[in-house]
Amino acid sequence: MQCPERFYVSQKLTKSFSNQTTNDGRFINEWKRQNRGRPMNELLDRAADGIVKEGTRLSEPIEAEWIADELRSLKNKPNEEIEMNVVSIYTRESFLYRLVNVTLRENDLSKLENLGPFCWLLFHCDCSSTFRTLGYADTLYRGADLDNTTIESYKQAIGLVKTWDAFSSTSKNRIKAESFGNTLFIINLAKSTSYRFSGMDISSLSAYPNEEEVLIRASRNFRVENVEQDNSTGKYLIYLSLC
């Protein structure tokens, strides 16, 4: 089974919001601002309806309906069951994870109504009691194929706090991550952070358990610590500390 591209697709490097008073302009926070207090059953219905609309637009109506039916079937279920199924749906090879992450990277607010509910459900898993036992705090790895301009942007960002706006699939296994692209991100948890974990170890829920996947939530800040090139392989190594 081929590994899905979410493990290695390049992410746009964006400015951190750490020096701003609000980050409500970003996709998930904007959706949250407009939709506070909606009950879970309504969120599931809205997520399902939005995915059907987007899937139909992308000529993927059957896949979209299948995902929507699964989301609707979770109504009135315990939160733990809902959250685990939302994560499982995200990990499957479908149009959904690609569309979600492109939308988040581009901050495409035109898709707020259709994709906001699912993005919020997935984002919220990171801080839920369900996933506390799945929190992972050790070193993570992510392969990427970066052009020279992007590599230079990381070099220029050394010492600065930046953000990946999309959800980031990483691996606990360096060898697996190194098989993708010309760049390896080596990701650790900053000692100064108030977060206990780097991400959620979702390998037990993933459609690709052998990838040893740890999911870093969208809009997680990190500091670029160093960029170097391995002389023996030519691969770039980019060291990040999650804030």
- Using CA atoms, how far residue 207 sits from 88, 90, 93, 94, in Å, is 7, 9, 8, 11
Band of residue 16 on the pLDDT scale cut at 50, 70, 90: very low
* pLDDT confidence bin for 191, thresholds 50/70/90: confident
Residues whose CB falls within 8 Å of the CB of residue 16, separated by 6 or more in sequence, listed in order: 160, 161, 162, 163, 221
Residue 15 reports pLDDT greater than 70: no
101 three-state secondary structure: helix
Average pLDDT of every residue of the chain: 89
Asked if 93 and 4 count as a contact pair (C-beta separation under 8 A), the reply is yes
CB 202 within 8 A of CB 133: no
Look at residue 131 and tell me whether its pLDDT is greater than 90: no
Strand, helix or coil at 203?
coil
pLDDT at 20: 36
Global confidence as pTM: 0.88
CA–CA distance, 231 with 214 (Å, rounded to integer):
28
Q: 7-18+134-242, superfamily in CATH?
A: Toxin ADP-ribosyltransferase; Chain A, domain 1 (3.90.176.10)
Domain boundaries, the chain: 7-18+134-242, 27-132
Using the predicted structure, report yes or no on whether residue 40 has a pLDDT greater than 80.
yes
Cα 65 to its chain centre, rounded Å, is 23
3-state SS, residue 189? strand
CA dist 131 to 36, 81, 127, 199, 229, Å? 22, 11, 7, 10, 36
CA distance 159 to 167: 23
Q: What is residue 7's predicted lDDT score, i.e. its pLDDT? A: 52
What's the order of all strands across the beta sheet hosting 135-136? 14-15, 161-164, 220-229, 236-242, 183-189, 140-144, 168-171, 213-216, 199-201, 135-136
Q: Is pLDDT at 95 greater than 80 in this prediction?
A: yes
Give the model's pLDDT for residue 103. Answer: 96
